[in-house]
Copies of this chain bind each other. A is one copy, B any other.
Amino acid sequence: MSIFSIDRIDGRARTGIVTTPHADVETPAFIPLASRASVKSMLAEEVKALGYKMVLGNAYHLFLSPGHEHIKSLGGLHRFMEWDGALITDSGGFQIFSMGHGRVADEIKGRAQVSVGEERQAAILSIEEEGVRFRSYIDGAERFVSPEVSMDVQAALGSDIVLAFDECTPFHAGRDYTAQSMERTHRWLDRCIEWRKKNGDEDRALFGIVQGGVYRDLRDASAEKISSAPVSGIAIGGSLGKEKEQIYEVVDWVTAKLPENLPRHLLGIGEVDDLLAAVALGVDLFDCAMPTRLGRHGMALAADPNGRWRIDLRKAPARDQDIPIIDGCGCGACNKYSRAYIHYLVRSSEMTGVRLVTNHNLFFMAKLMEGMRKSIAEGRFEQYREAVLDGAVPWEVQ
């Protein structure tokens, strides 16, 4: 059942390999989102050429459209999107609840505050022990997802790694709700495991999800529960706090409780400093919409001692800059095209501009992770982390 082997350890950071039927993934690794069966604006072969071995599909979106049975009838998600690398799928929990909770996705990452209340009613009709009833954002139809449905969907998609179905509670849900919700998520994990037994799907890797919000005793209890279950890896989900320091603290609590021999996936986190902090705490896998979403808005990843890691190519300074996004960057955009050109394309809503920035951002993330793996292997991860935080370009740190 073990799909993970640790190679080198440097402090609490580690390098390793996650083995899947389609590819071996060197960790720490960033996993680009292919939520709707494509990494936005990219072709599968381009994602592969950037060095990525795993992408993340989304059970929720693909369940609603085009439907998991449809994708299964076309040979599964790998064949459908012509991706021959490893594939992990989100269980749908995060999306269902983030729609219900309004801007919970922002809040979970410490970016905004929302109140639980009316917004939840917009999409979620009921959260019960059996599962969640909600309205499809596509046609308004009533749909139902339970742990069993999620497992069924992810198996139909043919994922290499599936995530257990969980409730993703927002920060403002409060301690009582977070505790009750966590207990239900644990029971839902048991039902996921039961479904796999019944349906002969136990060879497929399953990651359980640690919940418990920002409450240490809940996170401890959840880490213990998930670690004792027959899972191949452990994801860290839910609200991690309002501030970066709180996020790191929660990750610290959780990874300290987890067994060494299972890969750890921090769900939905992707900022440069957050990745460095989490890897230092022993996290192995990350997924995030950030590089592709920034790309669509003309925001390019770059070294930055101020910790924003972004150049807004839509803004005036880029207009006259006849230089690449990053001088010396080896990506397809920086090799040929100027900031001035990309500025014009993005402001003119030309798709080519989105492609160039997205490609650059994914290249940057791949190099950032490569630098982490190399520095861990050489026992100098903390120096690498500090150099990048001080504004060094990942591939220039030796």
Contacts and interface: CB of A to CB of B under 8 A. Distances in A.
A122 interface: no
A356 B82 CA distance: 13
B38 A352 contact: yes
Copies of this protein chain in the complex: 2
Contacts of A350: 36-38, 40
A44 B352 CA distance: 10
Contacts of A55: none
Interface string A344-382: 110110111111100000000000000000000000000
A86 to B, nearest CB: 19
A144 interface: no
A120 to B, nearest CB: 26
A308 to B, nearest CB: 26
Given A75-B322, A340-B74, A340-B80, A348 B65 contact: yes
A43 B355 contact: yes
A341 interface: yes
Interface in A81-99: 81-82
A38 B345 contact: yes
A19 B81 CA distance: 42
Given A74-B340, A81-B341, 15 more contacts: A37-B341, A37-B344, A37-B345, A37-B348, A39-B352, A41-B352, A42-B352, A65-B344, A65-B348, A70-B320, A73-B320, A75-B322, A82-B336, A82-B341, A355-B355
Which 7 A-B residue pairs are closest in the complex by CB-CB distance?
A: A38-B352, A41-B351, A82-B336, A66-B344, A36-B348, A38-B350, A74-B322
